[in-house]
Amino acid sequence: MDSTDDDQPAQRTAPVIVITGTPGTGKSTTAALLVESSPIPLKHINVGDLVRLHGLHEGFDDEWQSYIVDDDKVLDELEPLVADGGVVLDWHTCGIFPERWVDLVIVLRCDHTLLWERLEKRNYPLKKIQENNEAEILQTVLDEARESYADEIVIELNSDTVQEMESNVARIVQWIENWKKDNACP
């Protein structure tokens, strides 16, 4: 499966939202706040946790301190979970998700100096901090989202402060309200 799949989804009663961004930009925090604030039930799926818990990888890379993800296994595991909607997918990448799955892509951005500090607090190895910081500066995740999905469903949001995170969640909640109206959901 790839993100250029043209099949249309069945009518869903809730959207599928992807929250993505460089590690440390606040994806999991934003997803958790969104699930709490949403006017419709949403399930938060941290894809990285899913990879670890269900063995959806080909081993562990000691140099990068991360799993070597098996994209096909991830997609096979997620497909039945996203079929009816009502899901927030939280992951540092988004291009593997088929376009037909996704209603909204939120790309969180963070000032690179603040991002560096956040990753240091996580005890990331220096090489990993440098790589992620460079990816943020070069807007790698944003570019991937824009290449993978229609422009109108990709939204870039700053996520430097708690206030910005709360504002982002309020904005996404408003988007959900509009999605419900547009899709005639009760």
Q: Which residues are annotated as a binding site for ATP?
A: 24, 26-29, 122
Q: How far apart are CA 84 and CA 101, in angstroms?
A: 10
Q: What angle do CA 166, 78, 67 make, to 5 degrees?
A: 85
Q: Which residues are annotated as a binding site?
A: 24, 26-29, 122
| 131 CA to centre of own chain | 19
Task: Confirm if 133 and 115 have CB atoms less than 8 A apart.
Answer: yes
Helix (H/G/I), strand (E/B), else coil: 60: strand
Write 142-150 long-range contacts (CB < 8 A, 24+).
142/107, 142/109, 144/93, 144/94, 144/95, 145/18, 145/20, 145/94, 145/95, 145/105, 145/107, 147/95, 148/3, 148/94, 148/95, 148/97, 148/99, 148/105, 149/3, 149/94, 149/99, 149/102, 149/105, 150/99
